[in-house]
Structure 1
Amino acid sequence: MVVLCKLKALTLLRLGYPQSSSSILKLFFVGDVKPSHFPLQNLLLCRHFNSEISETHHDFTVNYLINSCGLSPEGAISTSKWVELRSPKTADSVLSFLRNYGFSETQMSKMVRSCPHLLQLHPEKTLLPKLEFFASFGVSKKDLATTLQYEPKLLAMSLEKRIIPTYDFLRSMLSQKKVASVFRHGSWIFVEGHSKKVAPNIKVLRESGMPQHCISMMLTCHPRALILKPKDFGQLVDEVKQMGFNLQKSTSVMAINALCAANRSTWNRSCEFYKRWCSVVKVLLLKGLINGIENVSLGSVLVPPEKCFLEKFVARYTDEVPQLLSVYQGRVEVQDV
């Protein structure tokens, strides 16, 4: 009898019937008999049976991720650790919904790989309201697909508790069009929400004297700096001020963004290189060999590669200033030339 029940349960599974573990165990045990009443042999068989059920679901999930979602075998095995599909019904409806909404197969594959839980969401009840909300403030279907392939977790966030409050916060400072720009450049804000980092960091900027038009520029064009913890962000703003940037001008926004994105060791090397760009130019200006207005600009100093800079500002003037290369190398001070 036990064997027959087991065969029946496995047959139902393999025919695609979505059976819960509890319903299958009822088929297996045939009644509400306590496990302690079973002989050891039956308990061992039960354990083996549960293991086989788990393996069956796992195999189905891996195969589905490969065949329907375009994941590699390795990617499917890794992703299957985070999701268990018991039947293709819900997952198929999710993929079909996204496909009809304009998502490409490649985009959907990336989304599933990053957020496999997506396959278990209800298309009409969970996905559609969010997509319609984003469209309501000007996000095109193309931008939606492009953004969500990298931030699919956004579709799993609560519309009422997370997405709409964040939109309202942004809308209190920005036009609807600019909020759509924030979605394109900083969709993580909608995922994480605004209360923990974005709002406190904007408060830091305001208390430091940054006007609203600069804050708007940071939100719409350079929002990644706002992902820092408020304490770290405050230190970064102080560092930008110490470097001489005026927080009332848009250049300070670009400086904050650059400092936030830069690797510290790379940043320090770049600063050192810049100081040596500048020492050479200062010597040439003091010697009257170049004119600060006609012959040199910040772009002509900072933009060219090192080789071009050496040719234009060092090698050309070594006859007039033999120590110029040493100045560039930091071995001679400007005042000693």
Structure 2
Amino acid sequence: MAPNIAVLQNHGVPNPMILKLISGQAISFILKSSRFSEMVPMVKGMGFNPVKANFIQAVRVMSGMSKLNWEGKLEVYRSLGWSEAAMFSAFKLYPNYMVISEKKIRRGMDFFVNKMNCNPSYISKYPNILALSLKKRIIPRCLVLQVLISKGLIKKDLCLATVLKLNEKEFLEKFVIKNLDRFPELLRVYQGKMELLG
């Protein structure tokens, strides 16, 4: 581990960040020093700042993937309409988007593109939403939004990603409880007891 820790220190990664990486995924340091020495400057060369948390996330992701797995995941995103620039930008925003399973990626993209009419480029700007639970978070919230839009209670052009990132309490207060007097069934919609079609 010592040579790999030295590599991070030599590239300007603060010791608290290194400790965070060790505690979060010590396996990252089990790599051969030669490979680790190539990978860290590669992440830095992508434009990641060594003092920022996403640098450590990127190192963690890349150290846990073989080149074959990396290329395979990029091919999945290409097949779903993502450009090379979009994939690179998404990795800088949320490195963990590369470790989401292919099945989850495809289900999420299918829902956003075919049910919510989102462009693939839109999803690439908010890659973290692909990590959210489709069944427990995305679909229930989108059903509530559909109801509110159809009733003219919210604007159509709201940022879907922002709504999905709200915590449970914030979402309930802002979109459900606030509108119960005008649409009492809204809570049932959110709880999955009333499904909308179309």
Shorter-chain TM-score above 0.5: yes
Of 272, 297, 310, 2:140 maps to 272
Matched, 1:195 2:63: no
Q: What are the superposed Cα offsets for residues 255-285 of structure 1, whole Å, 9 maximum, x if unpaired?
A: x4223242x5413xx51343134314422x2
SS of the residue 2:118 aligns to: coil
Q: 1:325 is aligned with what amino acid?
A: P
Shift of 1:163: 1.6
Residue deviations 1:120-147 (CA, integer Å, cap 9, x gap) = xxxxxx51x2222112333122211222
For 2:130, the equivalent position in structure 1 comes to 259
- Please give the per-residue CA displacement for 1:284-304, whole angstroms capped at 9, x wherever unaligned: x2xxxx6849xx956898754
Deviation, 1:189, is: 2.5
For 2:179 and 2:85, how far apart are their aligned partners in 1? 38
Which of the residues 79, 88, 92 maps onto 1:216?
A: 88
The equivalent position to 1:164 in structure 2, one of 6, 29, 37, is 37
Structure 1 gap segments, 5+ residues each: 1-125, 318-323
Give the alignment partner of residue 150 of structure 1, picking from 15, 19, 24: 24
Q: Deviations over 1:46-92 (max 9, x none)?
A: xxxxxxxxxxxxxxxxxxxxxxxxxxxxxxxxxxxxxxxxxxxxxxx
Aligned counterparts of 2:24 and 2:16: Cα–Cα separation in 1: 13
DSSP-derived class of the 2:24 partner: coil
CA RMSD of aligned residues (A): 4.0
CA contact (8 A) 2:31 2:63 kept: yes
Code of the aligned partner of 2:82 = M
Given the alignment of the two structures, is residue 282 of structure 1 paired with residue 140 of structure 2, yes or no? no
Q: In the alignment, is the contact (CA less than 8 A) between 1:166 and 1:194 conserved in 2?
A: no
| 1:255-334 equivalence runs, <5 A | 256-262=127-133, 264-267=134-137, 270-283=138-151, 285=152, 292=155, 304-306=170-172, 309-315=175-181, 317=182, 324-326=183-185, 329=188
**Counterparts of residues 1-337 of structure 1 (less than 5 Å):** 127=2, 129-160=3-34, 162-167=35-40, 170=43, 174-175=46-47, 177=49, 182-229=54-101, 231-232=102-103, 235-236=106-107, 238-239=109-110, 240-243=112-115, 244-249=117-122, 251-254=123-126, 256-262=127-133, 264-267=134-137, 270-283=138-151, 285=152, 292=155, 304-306=170-172, 309-315=175-181, 317=182, 324-326=183-185, 329=188
- Runs of at least 5 residues in structure 2 that lack an aligned partner in the other structure: none
Shift in Å, 1:327: 6.7
Number of residue pairs matched? Answer: 186
Larger Rg: 1
> How far apart are the structure 2 equivalents of 1:310 and 1:184?
37
Cα distance, 1:233–1:131 mapped onto 2, change above 3 Å: same
Q: TM-score, normalised by structure 1?
A: 0.43
Distance verdict in 2 for CA 1:149–1:219, change over 3 Å = same
Cα distance in 2, alignment partners of residues 333 and 238 from structure 1: 20
| Structure showing greater relative contact order (alpha-carbon pairs closer than 8 Å, 6 or more residues apart) | 2
Q: More deviation in 238-247 or 142-151?
A: 238-247
Task: Evaluate the alpha carbon distance shift between residue 248 and residue 143 of structure 1 in structure 2; reply closer, same or farther with a 3 A threshold.
Answer: same
CA distance in 2, matches of 1:329, 1:155: 48
| 3-state SS of paired residue (2:12) | coil
Amino-acid identity (%): 10
* Change over 3 Å in CA distance of 1:245–1:163 after alignment to 2: farther
Q: When the two structures are superposed, what TM-score results if normalisation uses the length of structure 2? A: 0.66
The CA deviation at 1:158 is 0.5
